[in-house]
Amino acid sequence: MTEQVEFRDGFPVEASAQASFEVSDRRRAVEAYRFFYPTVSLEMILRGTRAIGASNAAAGIIVAGPVQVGFTLNSDTPYLGAGLDLRESGPMVIELPPGPLVGLVDDHYHRWLVDLGLPGRNGPKGGRVLLLPPGHDGEPPAGSEGYEVVRCDTWQVLYALRALPLNGDLEQAVELMRTVRIYPWDRRDDPPAFTFLRDDDMPMDTTPLAVEDNLEFWRVLHSVVDTEPAVDELRPMLGLLAELGIEAGRPFAPDERMAGILTEAARRGRDEMLVSAFASRRPDRMAWPDRAWEWVGLRPENGTFERDGSLDVEAKDRWFAQAIVASPAMFRRGPGAGSLYWLGHRDASGGYLDGGRGYRLRVPLPVPYSLFWSVTAYDARTRSEVATEQNQAALRSLFEKLEPEGADHVDLYFGPEQPPGAEGRWIRTRPGHGWFAYFRVYGPEQAAFDGSWKPGDFEPLG
């Protein structure tokens, strides 16, 4: 508890007023950090993709693995994605072929704009999305009939696509991605060439890990605020940033006192968000009352973390501390939804998963899916795939033999040493590194929701 402000004859005493300023600035800084963490996260995704050569005319295609540091990326599907600079290009078109593509576009503040592919308006039929930059108000451009027109509040946007490797054909999925077309609207009659950068072993870091607990976090945030139009929806929080010296058109130059406050706020804010992610007190986080598995996304209604009458700030913190991008399709809880995400970070007794111990995970068969399922192990420090000499962090029904014919369950193993008989069903973990898992079901069926099917908990070995 902080000391109360001292008043004399109705006015705050000077020394007490100065102490109150200190408390107020620190409180504002932590709240601003948590609110704008998704913004910094998205900016670091843009920087990470630009570092490998992505641009308005090029994007990487990867099957993610431990060499790519990215919040809860998975190895289930190939990825295609990058940032688009609409200030440079003007309106842009994303043209999808028919097929099993899943994706979205988010703006620079990490806010959902539109779904692409299967969860989008045209589903598996493909289609064209026209992204309009800030200032393009009024009627859509002439000739845009048949396009899904999306208005963007920011100049920089991120698009992310995955191709579902049906029947385990990864290369076919990659080739489908190569038929995606991205081009400026004013070049629609003669689209310029688009380059696909393919290298699954290419190191890449798209996380804010390097900046999330220090003063650099605020420099990155200032770079976004300083180059993007003011967004009406964010005016109150942008005003709070201005009180901390972060404002468009104004250099970021904190004095020693404010630099100390902002640095401490970054550390504290990061820590508080990780508590939301991994030590939440929300009862609605639990997937089943008799299991340790939790829902990663706490709001199944939408991809904006809105609930009736307010923004669910705890759900927003929890998601962006461990994941990236959000859309309604990612959080739906019903048969036929794109995918389900369950978080496992505690064992059957409630203890955190320890990289120095071995565990067994028993999965009842058949898993209720129409497409496939997987379990991926992530390092708690990096929130990225566990990196060991095994160079594998996922067990996937499409690629590993996880469903023996006639079996009623399959046992998966995790730990620093492979147990006897666990060949092809074991992920190595690192001693001294806590870890967590995402259990993903693609095309979930009714049993995934009504409790008639559920995975076991992680059981310590020995």
Integer CA distances (angstroms), 88 to 42, 155, 184, 404, in order: 19, 9, 10, 53
Q: Tell me which of 427 and 307 has the higher pLDDT.
A: 427
Query: Torsion-angle region of residue 272: left (phi > 0), alpha (psi -120 to 50) or beta?
Result: alpha
Are residues 367 and 424 part of one domain?
yes
Are residues 249 and 165 part of one domain?
no
Are residues 386 and 441 part of one domain?
yes
Q: If we measure between CA atoms, which residue out of 302, 296, 299 comes closest to residue 318?
A: 296
Q: If we measure between CA atoms, which residue out of 274, 409, 419 comes closest to residue 358?
A: 419
Query: Torsion-angle region of residue 123: left (phi > 0), alpha (psi -120 to 50) or beta?
Result: left
Among 42-46, 173-177, 331-335, the range scoring the smallest mean pLDDT is 331-335
- Name the domain boundary from 183, 205, 227: 205
Residue-wise pLDDT for 289-304, tens only, equals 999 999 999 988 888 8
- Please report whether residue 390 resides in a domain: yes
Are residues 24 and 83 part of one domain?
no
pLDDT of residue 1: 44
Half-sphere exposure (Cβ direction) of 54: Cα atoms closer than 13 Å: 28
Tokens 């048969």 appear where?
A: 335
With beta carbons less than 8 A apart as the criterion, state whether 114 and 120 touch: yes
- Please report whether residue 377 resides in a domain: yes
- CB atoms under 10 Å from CB of 432, counted, come to 10
**Domain interval for residue 330:** 282-297+318-460
Query: Which positions ≥6 away from 332 have C-beta within 8 Å?
Result: 300, 338
Among 265-279, 295-309, 353-367, the range scoring the smallest mean pLDDT is 295-309
Are residues 184 and 103 part of one domain?
yes
User: Does the pLDDT at position 2 exceed 60?
Assistant: no
For the CA atoms of 450, 455, 460, 461, what is the dihedral angle to 10 degrees? Answer: 150
Among 136-140, 334-338, 401-405, the range scoring the smallest mean pLDDT is 334-338
Two tokens, residue 65: 């693995």
Quick one: pLDDT band at residue 441, thresholds 50, 70, 90? Answer: very high
User: Does the pLDDT at position 355 exceed 80?
Assistant: yes
- Name the domain boundary from 205, 224, 253: 205
Are residues 23 and 124 part of one domain?
no
pLDDT of residue 194: 95
Q: Over the Cα atoms of the chain, what is R_g?
A: 23
| Pure H helices in 63-192 | 86-89, 170-177
- Please report whether residue 306 resides in a domain: no
Are residues 435 and 289 part of one domain?
yes
Are residues 288 and 246 part of one domain?
no
Are residues 129 and 41 part of one domain?
no
Q: 285 forms bridges with which residues in the sheet?
A: none
- Please report whether residue 308 resides in a domain: no
- Please report whether residue 68 resides in a domain: yes
- Please report whether residue 149 resides in a domain: yes
User: Does the pLDDT at position 387 exceed 70?
Assistant: yes
**Strands (E) located in 121-280:** 127-132, 148-151, 156-163, 181-184, 195-198, 204-205
**Strands (E) located in 167-253:** 181-184, 195-198, 204-205
| Dist. CA 110–CA 42, nearest whole Å | 6
User: Does the pLDDT at position 337 exceed 70?
Assistant: no
- Please report whether residue 288 resides in a domain: yes
- Looking up residue 370, the CATH number of its domain turns out to be 2.60.120.600
Buried b (16+ CB within 10 A) or exposed e, 194-207: eeebeebeeebbbb
Query: Torsion-angle region of residue 54: left (phi > 0), alpha (psi -120 to 50) or beta?
Result: beta
Residue-wise pLDDT for 114-132, tens only, equals 999 999 999 999 999 999 9
Helix or strand or coil: residue 254?
A: coil
Are residues 435 and 323 part of one domain?
yes
Are residues 413 and 438 part of one domain?
yes
- Please report whether residue 34 resides in a domain: yes
Specify the length of the chain in residues: 462
Mean pLDDT of 379-387: 98
| Dist. CA 420–CA 410, nearest whole Å | 15
First-to-last alpha carbon distance for the chain, in angstroms, is 45
Quick one: pLDDT band at residue 48, thresholds 50, 70, 90? Answer: very high
Residue-wise pLDDT for 154-211, tens only, equals 999 999 999 999 888 999 999 999 999 999 999 999 999 999 999 888 899 999 999 9
Query: Which positions ≥6 away from 91 have C-beta within 8 Å?
Result: 130, 131, 132, 133, 136, 141, 184, 185, 186
User: Does the pLDDT at position 3 exceed 80?
Assistant: no
DSSP track, 347-414: BTTSPBPBTTS-EEEEEESS-SEEEEEEEEEEETTTTEE--STT---EEETTTS----TT-SEEEEEE
- Name the domain boundary from 182, 205, 228: 205
- Looking up residue 259, the CATH number of its domain turns out to be 1.10.3360.10
Percent of the chain scored above 70 by pLDDT?
99
- Give the type of residue at 149: V
- Looking up residue 89, the CATH number of its domain turns out to be 2.60.40.1610
- Give the type of residue at 52: I
**Strands (E) located in 256-303:** 294-295
Are residues 61 and 38 part of one domain?
no
Instruction: Write the DSSP symbol of residue 2.
Output: P
Q: 156 forms bridges with which residues in the sheet?
A: 85
Mean pLDDT of 414-435: 97
Domain count, the chain: 3
